[in-house]
Structure 1
């Protein structure tokens, strides 16, 4: 039986590590629906692939959670795209759309975050394909084989 606790990666964005409570992603197609006057069946038009989005409920928890939360907020506030690594998704180049921290008096040493990301696309999507993507996605479990796949990004 698979050991999920061992296989799940710790999450990070711009190298700042955090834990994930839950995450979701959304992608698909951009479809326009044309409703024709007097028609019984609509006409649909495929406009291409939809931009992937990622929503993450994250947290940092430690004796220095206040400093870790500042680091994550700073990483999310920087311009440009960077690598997002989630426990079960392949690493993606994304831009951070929103970073909402939450703190509670009853949970000292714990800072929660609601994070939203959008796939960077363009040149960044080309970097995340092929051997680099394989190394980033599976490098944790490849052991010595990962050395053979080493490609600098």
Structure 2
């Protein structure tokens, strides 16, 4: 019997380059809604506030004679600050942040560590970093304008010729 197409399309799972096997993978999302209910009105107004952050729940494991090293490498990757690339077996690469994990080992399953990992999509920051220091740029522009105005005023005063006796009035 040939291998089903969906099995052929699976890609190896990893986070920050640390490989693991996936037992169960789940994704959750939806819409963020706010329901407004008003006194003396029977009909509410529901406001759509956009898509919820996608969350990924993965039941994973590392197994084999080097599982202890693989376990520690995966733990280190999960505890590293900031976003990283999750290679999901069916969804491909996703930028995520580890929201939490548990790791368990049992006597019956020697040579294996099981993980329950929660990821949340990293998304993008709504704030773009300032390209220039605007306070410094404004101060510099004001100083330049002041210097230019003073130079212009000096030049205007020097170009005026007063009466021969030196009195202006």
Summarize deviations over 1:16-66 as a string: whole Å, max 9, x none: 000000011111211011122333222100111211111100001111111
Instruction: Count residues with an aligned counterpart.
Output: 123
Which of 1 and 2 has greater Rg? 2
Aligned to 1:49: 51
Q: For 1:43 and 1:35, how far apart are their aligned partners in 2?
A: 7
Name 2:115's counterpart in structure 1: 113
Distance 1:4 1:50 in 2: 28
Q: TM-score, normalization: structure 1?
A: 0.75
Q: In 2, Cα distance between the equivalents of 1:15 and 1:72?
A: 9
In the alignment, the residues of structure 2 paired with residue 114 and residue 66 of structure 1 have an alpha-carbon distance, to the nearest angstrom, of: 17
1:87 aligned to which of 73, 89, 105: 89
Q: 1:3 aligns with which of 5, 30, 40?
A: 5
Deviation at 1:96, TM superposition (A): 0.4
Moved over 4 A (4+): none
Q: Match of 2:165?
A: none
Q: Does 2:40 match 1:16?
A: no
- Root mean square deviation, CA, Å: 1.4
2:139 aligns with none
Which of 65, 68, 83 aligns to 1:66? It is: 68
Q: TM-score, normalised by structure 2?
A: 0.69
Aligned pairs (5 A) from 1:132-147? none
Q: CA deviation at 1:86?
A: 1.1
**What 5-or-longer segments of structure 1 have no aligned partner?**
124-153
Determine if the alignment matches structure 1 residue 37 to structure 2 residue 39.
yes
Q: Equivalent residue of 2:86, what SS?
A: strand
User: In structure 2, how many angstroms separate the alpha carbons of the residues matched to 1:40 and 1:31?
Assistant: 19
What is the SS of the residue equivalent to 1:91?
Answer: strand
* Runs of at least 5 residues in structure 2 that lack an aligned partner in the other structure: 126-169
Do the aligned partners of 2:103 and 2:114 also contact (CA within 8 Å) in 1? yes
CA distance in 2, matches of 1:10, 1:58: 12
